Amino acid sequence: MAASITASITTVGVVGVGTMGAGIAEVFARSGLDVLAVEVDEHAVSRGRGRLEHSTARALERGKLDETARAELLDRVSFTTRLADLSGVDLVIEAVPERLDLKSRLFTELDGIVRGDVVLASNTSSLSITQLAVQTTRPDKVVGMHFFNPAPVLNLVEVVRTVVTDPQVISDVTALAHALGKTPVVAGDRAGFIANGLLFGYLNHAARMFEERYATREDLDAAMRYGCGYPMGPLALLDLIGLDTAYEILDALYRQSADRLHAPVPVLKQMVTAGLLGRKTGRGFYTYAGQHSSKVVPDAATPSGADSGTQTRPIGTVGVVGTGTMATGIAEVLAKGGHEVIVRGRRGSRTTDAVTAITRSLDKAVDRGKLSAPDRDAALGRISTTTSWDDLAGVDLVVEAVAEELEVKREIFATLDEVCKPGAILATTTSSLPVVECAAATSRPGDVIGMHFFNPAPVMKLIEVVGTIATTAEVVDSARQLARSLGKVPVTCGDRAGFIVNALLFPYLNDAVRMLETHYAAAEDIDTAMKLGAALPMGPFALLDVVGLDVALAIQRSLYREFREPGFAPAPLLEQLVTAGRLGRKAGKGFREYP
């Protein structure tokens, strides 16, 4: 707590010594505080002590503690089965099961036991702090202090204020979290707080995609890992969290917000009812080697992410239409992969600029040791340029990579339909327009496919392979095989707005903007919560500034138009910032200012 108050805390009470409570007790004890841990009976006390001993033993093995420090830590923690023994503590934090009736009774009892100046904190991740506070005679001294699991390892602590919490209490608890070596963020009292409030909408959306068979579990997870740099895919993360826990959190979010995006998808309830809870039971979206195992056991049948098994088309020479950053990146990737590449630009100067850009990129790869000089020269030797459509007549694949303007793309595909040989695959790199619109401009819709490369194409490993209702299985498999031959990771999905990555990413970013515009939490705290609490590479506002707020708004609008989902409507604040010219880093000002 604030300097003098922090010094006055010598003993902390922890009620509930399950996985979370034992971790919290360890955190306080590591900081030199005495901890009195309370459990319901001696058997539960024994389990709690065992968890603490096991955790500190692992810290010892990893060199995080030495024998002396471990012994001192364990000596600071004592156990009891009597709440009355907490009468002398200076702070209480509860970590009992997520049941409002249980926590409410506990807070009423604690209120009658501890001193009047003692702060009562809850580690709840989804229940209302306000409802707990009103069970006491000190609602101004009740606060949320949400640690993340495992508490000794993860640094984030969400400090949750209610409308009646004393501001000094928030300052004191924030200072205490800092003293524990944690990073606190302050949020208002609503289900999910910051991290879970944003994370679980995204996870629920991914589960809905799986339920609708829009994409396989493997492709959904690979898309977010390779397209966004997330440490885990959404379905694997749900298995780690536990599908029962996820269902409870989503249900709490929905009951409070009535937002359909938080209504748990039926497949979650079905899996929970069937006992398929994820890693802890050995089976969830994936099957594991055993309970609590992280090793995935392959399905006995053909993996759901595999190709259909149809014969694929040979792809030798490839045409690339466009001379922008995406087009030159794709041309470079194809040339390094051994393909003859013809870059078709509108004017001679642009094709010259394209070759210059490719040469510069390859030179950088040589300087960084990613490519040898002979391989660079060979790749450049495979690239030719043209301003004539007729030069694409003999290619096996054409990749269109021009601006996101539907009429322009339709015109290009109509021309390619006339020029290219029968059997040539026609691909678009669009990230937001319907692939079927391009197909409809041709007389060969079965040969048209989306191949959404991610920028920069030479670096990013993901390619979204997007088949329309008319695309043949042969063409889909050919595109997937080509992607793998280029060292990329192909994921397959249907032809609807956002495909996989944008459809999952941008509603999450939009939700973060809504959170900010309601003054629920500061942008810095929201970014910190998602980086530390969900292990994401960037917070939502830092990412929005990189992507460009105008780009984010355009994508969110396309999602809203297609799905007509109220929760997908662009946040008013996002609209206002774009109107004001605050577009992110490229404009020097977005959610932050840039030099």
The residue among 250, 227, 245, 224 whose CA lies nearest residue 236 is: 224
The answer to whether 16 and 51 are in contact (CB under 8 A) is no
| Cβ-proximal residues to 228 (8 Å cutoff; 6+ apart), any chain | 501, 505, 536, 537
Looking at 55, 122, 125, 558, which residue is catalytic? 125
Same domain, 95 and 9: yes
Looking at 39, 94, 158, 437, which residue is catalytic? 158
Reduce the secondary structure of 496-557 to three states and give it as a string: CCCCCHHHHHHHHHHHHHHHHHCCCCCHHHHHHHHHHHCCCCCCHHHHHHHHCHHHHHHHHH
- pLDDT confidence of 7, banded at 50, 70, 90? low
Same domain, 382 and 468: yes
Predicted local confidence at residue 1, as pLDDT: 41
Residue 293 lies in a domain: no
Helix and strand counts by DSSP (H, E) for the chain: 23, 16
Predicted local confidence at residue 4, as pLDDT: 42
Average pLDDT over residues 69-84: 96
Is residue 330 predicted with pLDDT exceeding 90?
A: yes
Residue 432 lies in a domain: yes
Residue 539 lies in a domain: yes
Predicted local confidence at residue 470, as pLDDT: 96
The tens digit of pLDDT for each residue in 222-242 reads 999 999 999 999 999 999 999
Name the domain boundary from 467, 494, 521. Answer: 494
Domain that holds residue 224: 195-281
Same domain, 33 and 180: yes
Predicted local confidence at residue 432, as pLDDT: 85
For the chain, the average pLDDT equals 94
H-state helical runs in 383-452: 406-419, 435-440
The tens digit of pLDDT for each residue in 492-525 reads 999 999 999 999 999 999 999 999 999 999 999 9
Percentage of the residues of the chain whose pLDDT score is greater than 90? 89
Same domain, 181 and 200: no
Looking at 126, 128, 196, 361, which residue is catalytic? 196
Name the domain boundary from 127, 154, 187. Answer: 187
Percentage of the residues of the chain whose pLDDT score is greater than 70? 97
Is residue 213 predicted with pLDDT exceeding 90?
A: yes
- pLDDT confidence of 6, banded at 50, 70, 90? low
**Beta partners for 452?**
464
452 catalytically annotated: no
Q: How far apart are CA 411 and CA 194, in angstroms?
A: 46
Task: Of 89-103, 118-132, 272-286, 295-309, give the lowest mean pLDDT range.
Answer: 295-309
Name the domain boundary from 187, 206, 222. Answer: 187
Looking at 146, 205, 262, 339, which residue is catalytic? 146
| Cβ-proximal residues to 390 (8 Å cutoff; 6+ apart), any chain | 419
* CATH number, domain containing residue 322: 3.40.50.720
Predicted local confidence at residue 5, as pLDDT: 46
Residue 176 lies in a domain: yes
The answer to whether 549 and 582 are in contact (CB under 8 A) is yes
Residue 349 lies in a domain: yes
Residue 324 lies in a domain: yes
Predicted local confidence at residue 307, as pLDDT: 65
Same domain, 39 and 100: yes
> Which residue type does 465 have?
V
Indicate the number of domains in the chain: 4
- pLDDT confidence of 107, banded at 50, 70, 90? very high
The tens digit of pLDDT for each residue in 434-444 reads 999 999 999 99
Residue 593 lies in a domain: no
Average pLDDT over residues 24-46: 96
Q: How far apart are CA 531 and CA 185, in angstroms?
A: 12
Predicted local confidence at residue 441, as pLDDT: 97
The pTM score is 0.91
* CATH number, domain containing residue 542: 1.10.1040.10
Tally of CA atoms within 13 A in the half-sphere of 37 that contains its CB: 35
Same domain, 218 and 242: yes
Is residue 420 predicted with pLDDT exceeding 60?
A: yes
* Alpha carbon separation from 308 to 305, 428, 462, 476, 477 (Å, rounded): 9, 22, 20, 9, 7
Predicted local confidence at residue 348, as pLDDT: 74
The residue among 117, 192, 181 whose CA lies nearest residue 151 is: 181
**Beta partners for 428?**
400, 450
The tens digit of pLDDT for each residue in 445-485 reads 999 999 999 999 999 999 999 999 999 999 999 999 999 99
Predicted local confidence at residue 300, as pLDDT: 57
Same domain, 176 and 245: no
Same domain, 429 and 486: yes
Same domain, 9 and 147: yes
Average pLDDT over residues 148-173: 94
Same domain, 24 and 167: yes
Label the pairing between strands 91-94 and 397-400: unpaired
Same domain, 24 and 72: yes
205 catalytically annotated: no
Same domain, 445 and 358: yes
Predicted local confidence at residue 2, as pLDDT: 39
Residue 297 lies in a domain: no
The tens digit of pLDDT for each residue in 545-576 reads 999 999 999 999 999 999 999 999 999 999 99
